[in-house]
A and B are shown apart, each in its own frame.
Chain A
Amino acid sequence: MRTEHKTIEELLLYLENPIGVEDDETIENHLAECDECVSDLSFLDSLRAGLQSYSRYSGELVKAGVSTHLTNIEIPGYINDACNDDEKGRIVSHLAGCSSCLEDVFTVKSLITQLERESSLIEKSYLISKFIIGHPTRIGSVEKEGKSLVREAARVGIAMFDIGRSLSFSFEGAEASKTDHGEEYRKMETADFTIEIVQPAGKESNVTIGVLAKGNLANAKITICAEEERTEIVSLENRRAIINKKDIQAEAIRYIKIEKV
C-alpha cells in the first residue's frame, strides 16, 4: 500500500542525513514506490546545488573586486525590503559570496528584530550599544534606529549618553568634545532639562554634572547609570544644579534620567 507523500521538510531532512542511517528506512520505503517524491528530492538537491554554484561564483566576483561590499545605507534598505528588485538582486548576489557582509546583515537584522520586540528604552539602548562596540564600522546601518531611540528617550527624560555619543556625528543635541584644556565635555537635552558632563583634564574619576531645567523647578530626581543606577533628589537654584561625582568616569555614564519632583 502506498504511503503518504513526503513533505519538503522530510525530504530535506533525508538529504541532510548521512547515507546508510536507520532513520531513513521509512522514507526510503516510500521513495521506493513513489517517483513523484524522488522527483521532489531531485528538485531540492538541484536547487541546493544551484545555490551553491551561485555562492561560489559570487565569491569569485567579490575576490576580483567586481562585486563591491555593502554600504551602511544598503544594509538597512535591503533588510527592510526598501530597495528595488535590481538593487536587491545585486545585494543578495554579493551576500551569497561575501561572508563578512552576510554576517553584518544577519547581525543588523537580528538587532532590528530584538529592538522591535523590546519595549524598555534602556534595554534597547543596551542592545544598540553592544552592537556599536562589536561592529564599529557598521554604526551607520543602525543610525536611524539609534537616533530615533535617543529622541524617544529624551522625550521621557532620559539622556542616553553612550549611544548618543556614538551617533553624535549626526545626532543633533548630543555633543562630545575635548576642549582646548583637555577636559571631557558632553551635553544632551531631554524634554525638560539640559544636562552637561564635564570631566576635568587629568582627573579620570571625577565628573561634574550640570543640570539646567527649562522651567521653574525647585527639585529634580536624577538617576545616573554608569555600572549601576544611582538615584538622588537634587535642589535647583535658579533652575540649576551642580552634582560632583568622584568615582565615575564621563565615558562610563550610559544614561542620565531626570524627572521633575
Chain B
Amino acid sequence: MNNDELIELQRVIRSGGPEAEGAASRFCDVVKDTMKRILSSISYKYSQEYLEWGVNEAFLAFRDNWDPEKGKYFKVYLWRYVKERVRIAIARDKGKESSIDIPLGGDGDEGSGTIGDLVEDKDISSEDKCHASELSAIMINVFNKMDSRIQLIMVEYFSNRSTYREIGLKLNIDHTTVMRNLTEEGIKPLRSEIEGYFKDQDLKYDSEVVLKSLGNFLIKRNIDNENRT
C-alpha cells in the first residue's frame, strides 16, 4: 500500500460508516509486520505480548495524528514517532519492572514528557528556531551552488516523484548516473553541511532542528528572490 493509498484509507476511516471498519482492518494487516519489528527493537521480550496493542497504537496515530498534507511518508512516521509512543507506553505499563530492553532517555524516567509531546512537528525552543533558520540559509547556499543538472534531478525526484529511469530518459543519461548524481552531489553535500554546522557550533546533532529547517528552506529563498525581482 503506497502513500497515496494510505491517504485514501485515512479519509475512509475518518469519514466513518460501514466502509471504515474494513479500511481499519486493512490498515492493521498492512502495518502488522512493521510493528512486529518496531516492537522487537523496543523489547524483544514483550514483542508478542504487545503486538495487537502496538498495531492499535499505529492505527490511532494513523487516524488521529498523521497529517499527509505535510507530505511525509507514514512509514517514517511509524519509525520516528509511533515507535516513541510505543516505547514510552510500554515503559509506563511495565513501570518499576524496568525490563524494557532499550531504556528511555535518562534512566527510564517515564515521568518526563507525554505521548502528546511526541507528535510530529512539536514546537522547538527559540534557540533551536535560530539554529533551524541558520541551517536553512546554509542549505539555500548549498542548493544554489549545485549544478543545474543536480538541481533538476532533485526537483524532479523529490517534488515530481519521478523515478531514476524517467529522469534518465529526460536527461538522456543512464538511470544509475541519475541515482549517483542525486545521492553524491545532491543529498550528501546538504547532509555534510548540516553536520558541519553542528560541529562548528559545538552542538550535538539535533534531528528535530534539521527537520524544521528542511520544511521550508527553499520557500524562504523563493520569497527573497521574487522580492528582489
Interface residues of A (CB under 8 A from B): 7-9, 12, 14-15, 18-20, 24-25, 28-29, 31-33, 38-39, 41-55, 57-58, 61, 66-67, 78-81, 85-86, 88-90, 92-93, 95-96, 99, 102, 105-107, 109-110, 113-114
CB-CB under 8 A from B145, the residues of chain A are 85
16 CB contacts below 8 A, A to B, read A14-B75, A24-B34, A28-B34, A38-B79, A38-B80, A44-B187, A47-B158, A48-B158, A49-B71, A54-B219, A79-B148, A88-B151, A89-B221, A95-B151, A102-B156, A109-B148
Given the known interface contacts A32-B37, A86-B228, A106-B171, the answer about A43 and B207 at a Cβ–Cβ threshold of 8 Å is yes
Given the known interface contacts A9-B179, A55-B155, the answer about A90 and B215 at a Cβ–Cβ threshold of 8 Å is no
Establish whether residues A51 and B2, one from each chain, have CB atoms under 8 Å apart when the complex forms. no
Minimum CB–CB distance for A29 against chain B, Å: 6
CB-CB under 8 A from A7, the residues of chain B are 183
CB-CB under 8 A from B76, the residues of chain A are 15, 41-42, 45
Given the known interface contacts A49-B72, A51-B155, A110-B172, the answer about A61 and B215 at a Cβ–Cβ threshold of 8 Å is no
CB-CB under 8 A from B141, the residues of chain A are 85
Can you name the residue of chain B whose Cβ is closest to the Cβ of A89? B225
CB-CB under 8 A from A50, the residues of chain B are 214-218
Establish whether residues B160 and A55, one from each chain, have CB atoms under 8 Å apart when the complex forms. yes
**Residue in A8, A20, A80 whose CB lies within 8 Å of B183:** A8
In the bound complex, how far is the Cα of B158 from the Cα of A15, in angstroms?
11
Minimum CB–CB distance for B177 against chain A, Å: 11
Query: Is B88 located at the chain interface by the 8 A CB criterion?
Result: no
CB-CB under 8 A from B74, the residues of chain A are 19
**Residue in B71, B83, B221 whose CB lies within 8 Å of A93:** B221
In the bound complex, how far is the Cα of B156 from the Cα of A52, in angstroms?
10
Minimum CB–CB distance for B114 against chain A, Å: 21
Per-residue contact bits, chain B 79-107, to A (CB 8 Å; 1 contact, 0 not): 11001000000000000000000000000
CB-CB under 8 A from A49, the residues of chain B are 70-72, 214-215
In the bound complex, how far is the Cα of B183 from the Cα of A52, in angstroms?
18
Per-residue contact bits, chain B 1-25, to A (CB 8 Å; 1 contact, 0 not): 1100110000000000000000000
**In the complex, chain B residues 158-199 whose Cβ is within 8 Å of any chain A Cβ:** 158-160, 170-173, 179, 183, 187-188, 190-191
CB-CB under 8 A from A105, the residues of chain B are 152
Given the known interface contacts A8-B188, A85-B144, the answer about A102 and B171 at a Cβ–Cβ threshold of 8 Å is no
Can you name the residue of chain A whose Cβ is closest to the Cβ of B155? A96
**Residue in A25, A52, A78, A110 whose CB lies within 8 Å of B171:** A110
In the bound complex, how far is the Cα of B71 from the Cα of A45, in angstroms?
8
